[in-house]
Amino acid sequence: VPGVALGFLVGYDWERPAWPSVVGVGGIGLSILDLLCLLVTGIALVRIGTNLESIRVSLLLALIMAFTAAFALSIAVGVTSNGKAAVAAETRPWFQLAAVFFWVIVLFQTAPKSLVRNLLMAISWGLVFFALTHMAARGLGRADEIFVGSDGIDRSTRILRSGQAMFLACCGIAALDYGMVARRLASTAAGVTFISIALLSQNRSVWIAVCAALACYALVAKSISWEKAILPAIVSGLLLFAFYLTDAGRSFTSNIAGQLNNRSTYDDRRIGWDYLIAKSRDGGLLRIIFGQPVGSGWARPGDVGTVGYQPHNWYLTVYLRTGVAGLAILALVILIIAGVLIARRDAL
């Protein structure tokens, strides 16, 4: 049930990017998404408690705990220096990401694989439904087009947000692998569909991630062979060619060419990143090593004056809030996980 609820909120994220508070705790408003993240965190902790004997202490676990402690310290200092409201606003996206990631990891370790697979497939088909609904209403849209919804919030005209598209792409690659291994055409077709919709969302970061993931999959997956890969390759090629023959396909191709040559969004973000890094360096050695406390804000120059939203760079935000120390720990965590997965060669 929590998984289905989270799936709905993931799919509905485009329609309602900011959920209103439904309850207040200690002067901090909590939305239905916050409450659901607290619920899945509790469920994950209960599952860990019932499987405690299977958990082994390792360098990876120690590094994750150290990274968590670094952020907890930054939050604690932030509460005293910046106030609870500022800390809560800045911590919310981190908490939601960490809660869902923690729950999914525990679910993969303790729940039947078929249950996890069916849940991810259901969420993915939900995202496809939302994407097709947006496409029917406004077409494929463009990355540089914005419209104001009835709630007064600016939205991109793209059919999915970047996080939704990235999730859909990951599930697509997993479905593609399962279809090849189990020789299930329906799963293979679902994988092709998910990846295609993710690419049609016109998020450049998703394009790069999909290309890199497919390349890695071709190199390390035991299940892949030319015999198994030829059918989805032919189907994908025919679908892409048929799509290109349509007016929407030609428009999309033109959009891709324009986006590949359009650096305005990236350049604007890079100016802000350079400013935040320079400001951190100017703060002295301690700020460089340990960062600023949570709640300090992200004020920087933007394309329309000073902006204060998150800088769209998770590595930079980790550095700004936990310093070089926290960023180094995160880098080690990523390297260890990558090494483990490459060593297993079947850990798709």
pLDDT surpasses 80 at 343: no
pLDDT surpasses 80 at 155: no
Q: Which three-class secondary structure string do you get for the chain?
A: CHHHHHHHHHHCCCCCCCCCEEEEECCEEEEHHHHHHHHHHHHHHHHHHHCHHHCCCCHHHHHHHHHHHHHHHHHHHHHHHHCHHHHHHHHHHHHHHHHHHHHHHHHHHHCCHHHHHHHHHHHHHHHHHHHHHHHHHHCCCCCCCEEECCCCCEEECCCCCHHHHHHHHHHHHHHHHHHHHHCCHHHHHHHHHHHHHHHHCCCHHHHHHHHHHHHHHHHHCCCCCHHHHHHHHHHHHHHHHHHHCCHHHHHHHHHHHHHHHCCHHHHHHHHHHHHHHHHHHHCCHHHHHHCCCCCCCCCEEECCEEECCCCCCHHHHHHHHHHHHHHHHHHHHHHHHHHHHHHHCCCC
Q: Measured between alpha carbons, how far is 156 from 158 in angstroms, rounded to an integer?
A: 5
pLDDT in tens, 298-321: 888 876 678 888 888 889 999 999
pLDDT surpasses 60 at 285: yes
Q: Give me the percent of the chain exceeding a pLDDT of 90.
A: 15
| pLDDT number for residue 221 | 61
pLDDT in tens, 168-198: 998 898 888 888 777 787 888 898 899 989 9
| pLDDT number for residue 326 | 93
pTM: predicted TM-score of the whole model, two decimal places = 0.76
**pLDDT tier for residue 329 given thresholds of 50, 70 and 90:** very high
| pLDDT number for residue 101 | 80
The mean of the pLDDT values for the chain is 80
Of the two residues 219 and 277, the one the predictor is more confident about is 277
**pLDDT tier for residue 149 given thresholds of 50, 70 and 90:** low
pLDDT surpasses 60 at 84: yes
**pLDDT tier for residue 135 given thresholds of 50, 70 and 90:** confident
